Amino acid sequence: MKIRKAELSDSSELFALEQKLFLSKNYPLSRGSFCYHIKNNMLFVAEIDNIIAGYILVLIKRKNAKLYSIGVKEEFRGRKIAQKLLEFSIKKLSSIGFDSLLLEVRVDNEVAINLYKKIGFSIKKNLNEFYLDGCDAYLMEL
């Protein structure tokens, strides 16, 4: 598996993956948003045999870094791809001077919460009815 910076030519494949990963209520990224984030934020892909198996998007705003989204294709799950994408991004962030990373996650997304806790994130706050369907979010920080 290779982790690399996403390129504009990846946007169609990333968009197709996003459609499978997230329902419309979870605000999947549009193709245009992928292009924007490829140019302006930290977007890495995990590639296996030239296929994008997963991606991670970290938004960089002045002194703050936020893990906006992470996803792995169903057929590639359980192979530590998400963990490696996170570890890779955290290393990059610390090399450019960021010492904390924030994220919001649905309280019912047990798989993602396990992943984040394994990496070392802790729950800072409960954000009431953060999502459109009324679901709360945890604000987590590393």
Ligand X SMILES: CC(C)(COP(=O)(O)OP(=O)(O)OC[C@H]1O[C@@H](n2cnc3c(N)ncnc32)[C@H](O)[C@@H]1OP(=O)(O)O)[C@@H](O)C(=O)NCCC(=O)NCCS
Q: State the amino acid at position 137 in one-letter form.
A: A
Strands (E), the chain: 2-5, 42-48, 51-61, 64-72, 102-106, 122-127, 137-141
Binding segment for ligand X (CB under 6 A), chosen from 4-12, 33-41, 114-122, 129-137, is 114-122
- Looking at beta carbons only, is 82 or 101 nearer to ligand X? 82
Query: What SS3 state is found at 45?
Result: strand
What is the distance between the alpha carbons of residues 30 and 110, in angstroms, rounded to a whole number?
25
Minimum CB distance to ligand X, residue 92 (Å):
17
19 binds ligand X (CB under 6 A): no
Q: How far is the CB of 94 from ligand X (least distance, A)?
A: 20
Applying CB under 6 A, does 29 fall inside the site for ligand X?
no
* Site stretch for ligand X (CB under 6 A), options 36-44, 92-100, 113-121, 133-141: 113-121
Task: Give the CA count within 13 Å in the CB-facing half-sphere of 22.
Answer: 15
Residues 34-63 binding ligand X (CB under 6 A) are: none
In whole angstroms, give the CA distance from residue 51 to residue 34: 17
Cα 77 to Cα 97: distance, rounded to the nearest angstrom: 31
Q: Which of residues 67-106 bind ligand X (CB under 6 A)?
A: 69-72, 77-83, 105
Residues that bind ligand X (CB under 6 A): 21, 69-72, 77-83, 105, 109, 111-112, 114-115, 118
